[in-house]
Amino acid sequence: DFQMTQSPSSLSASVGDRVTITCRASQDISIFLAWYQQRPGTVPKLLIYGPSTLHSGVPSRFSGGGFGTDFTLTISSLQPEDVGTYYCVKYNGPPLTFGGGTKVEIK
């Protein structure tokens, strides 16, 4: 079965810190990776796709990169409103498969 493995599963960082989340695909997915943010009690929100294109309205402190099997989501300066869970998802073809999520908290 195809798997997307995210790490870490949770992190706690201070406001202003640089935060990096990684996502590893079990097979080559080229550039077909997206990242979603889900704040507590809200609907998932598309942040990045392709895997470095910021969706409209997403702050520039978010960036994404990678190719093939290894991808990253970076928040250059963590803000209080960034608290939530982040998911990677591969979309090179069905099935669309999510990573297990990374819960981000403020220290």
Partner 1 sequence: EVRLVESGGALVQPGRSLTLSCTASGFTFGDFVMSWFRQAPGKGPEWIGFIVSSASGGTVEYAASVRGRFSISRDDSAAIAYLDMSNLKEEDSGMYYCTRALGQQVGSWYFAYWGQGTRVTVSS
Q: Closer to partner 1 at the Cβ: 43 or 60?
A: 43
Q: Are 98 and 4 in contact (CB under 8 A)?
A: yes
Q: Identify the residue among 7, 69, 97, 106 touching partner 1 (CB under 8 A).
A: 97
Q: Closer to partner 1 at the Cβ: 34 or 75?
A: 34
Tell whether residue 40 is a contact of partner 1 (CB under 8 A). no
Q: CA-CA distance, 39 to 30, in Å (whole number)?
A: 28
Q: CA-CA distance, 4 to 89, in Å (whole number)?
A: 7
Tell whether residue 87 is a contact of partner 1 (CB under 8 A). yes
Q: CA-CA distance, 8 to 50, in Å (whole number)?
A: 22
Q: Identify the residue among 26, 79, 96, 105 touching partner 1 (CB under 8 A).
A: 96
Q: CA-CA distance, 50 to 34, in Å (whole number)?
A: 6
**Site residues (vs partner 1, CB under 8 A):** 32, 34, 36, 38, 43-46, 49-50, 55, 85, 87, 89, 91, 93-101
